[in-house]
Structure 1
Amino acid sequence: MSYKNEQLSEEKVFKDPVHRYVHVRDRVIWDLIGTPEFQRLRRIKQLGTTNLTFHGAEHSRFNHSLGVYEVVRRIISVFKDYPNWDNDERLLCLCAALLHDLGHGPFSHSFEKVFKLDHEQFTQKIILGDTQIHKILEKVQPGFAQDVADVIGKTYANKLVISLISSQIDADRMDYLQRDAYFTGVSYGHFDMERILRVMRPMEEQAVIKSTGMHAVEDYIMSRYQMYWQVYFHPVSRSAEVILTKILHRAKFLYEHDYAFKLKPAHFISFFNGNVTLQDYLRLDESVVHYYFQLWQDEEDAILSDLCERFMDRRLFKYIEFSPNRMMREWMELYSLFKKVGIDPDYYLVEDSSSDLPYDFYRPGEEGERVPIYLQMPNDELKELSRQSDIVEAISGKKRTDHKLYFPLDMLKEKAQNSDVKRILAILNGQGVVNHHAE
């Protein structure tokens, strides 16, 4: 039997809090899970700094990746009897699902922004580079690693395969919404996935949903909407992200200005220099980052030391609602006043915005255009979801953005007798200071 078709002598299962069990029978999948590159995902949290707001959010990209694999495995079990499904694509779909988040770095999106990296590009580099992952994929057949990378890069010829991993209703979202809801302890992310899987049908370019499953899809989309605003964009988690980002900016600034660190930041140097190799990338995980943050609390540089203490001890910034259009004059005055009182506004006065488009219909030619969800009517006609659902139509194409201004209220209170600080506090209080870290 070829390696591509080789099955384990008995099925392996992972006990999973979301899907009950993750089932593995393919030798290829089992071997991929055992690679150093995949095991590294145990050391990358799925939700970055969210555990500083929702203390249960300690789950990893490893958990999530297994979950996405399991959802795709279940979808394929439904598709296998339909003429539009080519079962030769089965292993490709399973591998792409398992490996889709392979390139995430520590604290994922915050880390990417600072160093101008792209986790999808690194996922492809790991799959195509000198790695154990690559060796296993090429053992399936020459060029198989490239096919997996193309699915993740959304350039693979069969768009149906891509849609299972990346679309407006895909295995990735179906896993992370439920998994993140479970570990954060909120109820928003729950929806009837079993129903959605039962009514998914393969078409030439994407999976569609039988019209009888419309209400389950409505529930899914509203779950996503609620999770983004109640969990993913929670202002306290964003406060931690702001501090994390500023720590990395400060460390990079100090390195570029020949600051003498007590311990040379060896793991960060290629990131500071902008010449990151694949080996450098794979060596850096959240345990390493925490190690440096722990040490940097004792650095001579007051800003780096303070920011690291804040992050490690959860002394986060406070925030106010902020409108860049209406409050630019106040922001400029605050920036000037912060400088006057000796608090560097580049690190301690930070505007942060988050935005989301919960569902969109097809807008040809627009940047980031989205393929919509289609319902298969009883006569086999396809209709775009928002044309049939009043609930989805109400939020379709509506991008919501939230702006916050973050600052260290404790630092200001220490200088409360200073007239300039009094003016700062008056401006901030005039905008309504939020006095909680939020639990």
Structure 2
Amino acid sequence: MKLLEKLAQEKVLRDPIHDFIHIQDQLILDLINTKEFQRLRRVQQLGVANTIFHGATHDRFGHCAGAYELARRVTDYFCQYYATKEEGDGLWNPEERMVTLAAALLHDVGHGAFSHTFEHLFHTDHEAMTQQIIMGDTEIHQVLLQEGPDFPNKVASVIAKTYPNQQVVQLISSQLDVDRMDYLLRDAYYTGASYGEFDLSRILRMLRPYEGGIAVNIGGMHAVESYLVARYQMYLQVYFHPVSRGMEILLEHLLGRVKELLAAGEEPQSLVGPLLAPVFQEDHDLTVHEYLRLDDNLFLTAINGWQDADDTILADLSQRFLRRKPLKSIQINEQSAPHLDSLEKIVKEAGFDPRYYTARNDAYDLPYDDYKPAAKKPRTQIELVLADGSHQELSELSTLVGAIKGRASLDQRFFFPREMLDNGPDDLFTEVHADFQSLIKNDTFIPGED
């Protein structure tokens, strides 16, 4: 294996979250300078959330660089204090440093435009695409080859969670990883929310390598508790925000309308340009090259043009999206659920196609769970290292974590056009139970936000 040299002089990126992101290796600098990584500047980290939190215009480039910086700090700390001394001692192997840093930097390089909305509509998987970019005919692949012929495969296997060293895998993807630690702090900063703050320095200092992966010294338990509570709160207050989800549904529906029009025989050149056309083709698997040409700016330009489309639904949805006119919503619960079919019917009678102007949307997250081997996607539990060197699962010692372990956060909502609220109760809502009318008009999931 040919190890790329260290930079003669360290380069830094100034970062609002980590102060400086330190680039010490030629490999990392070369990866950052690839066209595939630079594309991440044009993919926003939180999709359409900037329509709610106006500061949330940060991108995947900054997040990936931040995840790399945290991985660099951890691996440097491990190399200094917990480097392996003999085979089988379960400590950190310094030779794993570069694959860890590369995987941290590249872990989100496969995200599509508008991130998770794109995945849901076009049935893509950003982790699978990340692996294809790493292994495909890309500048990233060529840079990784400079480290060794098998190095791209090693990095891809970390993303796939099949890399044999679980310490490396867990640093990149687990319930306490550099990805989550960076995005919580970064998203909290740019949204202006304080919910995502926690003691990052303490956690990084308390991490310990062991044969089965990464554990936390018992002295870091309270910092980890704070991290998990921060994650729980960020999902409830930011990631689950109903207005942001209303904007995402508009985006999903207008792109779905384009798909329907094209499937019905609409001429592609009248709706989409050559760069967008492949993603809307039925039964067409996007190539890596086609995928990498897509970014937020390309879709926003198209949506801007669709405001003048001959199709009234597409034009209206595009105007609502660009002018920030999200769908309104109510929470689905025992009181409202029996009335949803009636409400859909009334929406249709009011002149709105329910396929495009209503939606039932679930926002789900599990803030923490222990390892359950029978689960479809078993989670790597957080292990605490006790004074005697033994390990114990976090929730067994933390009352706070024990209270949230395995308890899913679920917010189910029914979305509908805002116009349905602009009419008096004697007009559109005559068939709806009075309690349901009151629920629509007094939804206070986040008071004062619209």
The TM tier, using the shorter chain, reads over 0.9
2:35 alignment partner AA: P
Contact 2:367–2:408 (CA under 8 A) maintained in structure 1 = yes
Deviation of residue 400 (structure 1)? 2.0
Deviation readout 1:146-166 (Å, 9 max, x if unpaired): 110000010111111100000
Matches within 5 A, 1:37-436: 37-80=36-79, 81-82=81-82, 83=84, 84-260=91-267, 262-272=270-280, 273-275=282-284, 276-323=286-333, 327-410=336-419, 413=422, 419-420=427-428, 422-423=430-431, 428-433=436-441, 434=443
Q: Cα RMSD between the aligned structures?
A: 1.9
In the alignment, is the contact (CA less than 8 A) between 1:48 and 1:107 conserved in 2?
A: yes
The answer (yes or no) to whether the contact 1:416–1:422 under 8 Å persists in 2 is no
Report the CA distance between 1:72 and its aligned residue.
Answer: 0.3
How big is the shift at 1:326?
Answer: 5.8
Unaligned runs of 5+ in 2: 85-90
Aligned CA distance change for structure 1 residues 241 and 126 (closer, same or farther; 3 Å): same
Contact 2:18 2:66 in 1 (8 A): yes
Aligned partners of 1:392, 1:437: CA distance in 2, in Å? 31
Q: For residues 11 and 381 of structure 2, what CA distance do their matches in structure 1 show?
A: 36
Q: Check conservation: 1:3, 1:28, Cα contact below 8 A.
A: no
Measure, in 2, the Cα distance between the counterparts of 1:390 and 1:322: 31
Structure 2 SS opposite 1:69? helix
* Offset at residue 267 of structure 1 (A): 2.8
Q: CA deviation at 1:422?
A: 4.3
Contact 1:338–1:345 (8 Å) recurs in 2: yes
2:88 matched residue in structure 1: none
1:314-355 CA-to-partner distances (Å, cap 9, x unmatched) read 0111111113x6645412222223223321011111111101
Aligned-pair CA distance for 1:65: 0.3
Q: What is the one-letter code of the residue matched to 1:74?
A: R
Identity %: 44
**Amino acid paired to 1:172:** D
Query: 1:32-67 CA deviation, whole Å, 9 max, x = no partner?
Result: 000000000000000111101110000000000000
In structure 2, distance between residues paired with 1:438 and 1:251: 30
Q: State the shift of 1:139 in Å.
A: 1.6
Contact residue 420 and residue 428 of structure 2 kept, 8 A: no
CA distance in 1 between counterparts of 2:337 and 2:203 reads: 46
Q: Secondary structure at the match of 1:431?
A: helix
Q: CA deviation at 1:429?
A: 1.6
CA deviation vs aligned residue, 1:96-120 (integer Å, no higher than 9, x gap)? 0000000000111111001111000
Alpha-carbon displacement from aligned partner over 1:106-137 (angstroms, at most 9, x marks no partner) = 11111100111100000001000000000111
2 CA distance for matches of 1:432 and 1:19? 43
Deviations along 1:348-403, one digit per CA (max 9) or x if unpaired, are 11111101111101112111111110110000010100000001001001112111
Q: Is the 8 A contact 2:216 2:385 kept in 1?
A: yes
Amino acid at match of 2:272: K
